[in-house]
A and B are shown apart, each in its own frame.
Chain A
Amino acid sequence: DIVMTQAPLSVSVTPGESASISCRSSKSLLSSKGITSLYWYLQRPGKSPQLLIYRMSNLASGVPDRFSGSGSETDFTLKISKVETEDVGVYYCGHRLEYPFTFGSGTKLEIK
């Protein structure tokens, strides 16, 4: 199974500042079709997860452009610029390259 490792475990951010979350995969997520199969999700407290970023760097519909995704074949970053209070929650990375689909253990974002 592909292991997804996230860091840090938690991050505390002042509103208006930026935050970055790292995700590393144990195997390249670049498919033979040239697609990097890495996704980011946000689970707000008490809510279902929501898709933020698909295929490493594409913003999902309705997601503010304060969110951005980047990376290589195994190392990925989610950046949130100008953090707002509504960004509080747990961020998960996940891959869809092969079965089983796996997720990172999550990064909790808190507001200072």
Chain B
Amino acid sequence: QIQLVQSGPELKKPGESVKISCKASGYTFTDYAMNWVKQAPGNGLKWMGWINTQTGKPTYADDFKQRFVFSLETSASTAYLQINNLNIEDTATYFCTRDATFDYWGQGVMVTVSS
């Protein structure tokens, strides 16, 4: 069955970096794009952008162009989200989700940024 399994929760200090993973299984990884979605505590869903799993080309939403990096390890069917220079407003759950339809979702990674 199709699964997106994400890495575990992270506790970071402001200014640090974090890299979270999303491992896909049950389908051909390069057949579908991977999107990233942010959900701040008690808030709704915000699309961060997507990465073309065939070419590795990322596309970022405007609010996520500065400190955010999407990358791939195609041989491991894994997508990564790295956030640099973390600040308090980055505290959120980050989901990976497949394809433009968002038909499958990872379980989410809670990133807490606190001094």
- Residue B71 is within 8 A (CB to CB) of chain A in the complex: no
Contact with A along B56-91 (1 / 0, CB 8 A): 000101100000000000000000000000000000
Interface residues of A in 20-47 (CB under 8 A from B): 39, 41, 43
B45 close to A94 (CB less than 8 A):
yes
> Across the interface, do A104 and B61 meet the contact criterion of CB distance under 8 Å?
no
Q: B108: which A residues are within 8 A, CB to CB?
A: 48
Chain A residues contacting B59 (CB-CB under 8 Å) are 99
Is the Cβ of A103 less than 8 Å from the Cβ of B45? Answer: yes
In the complex, chain B residues whose CB is within 8 Å of the CB of A92: 44-45
Complex contact B44–A99 (CB within 8 A):
no
> Residues of B with Cβ closer than 8 Å to A?
35, 44-47, 59, 61-62, 95, 97, 100-108
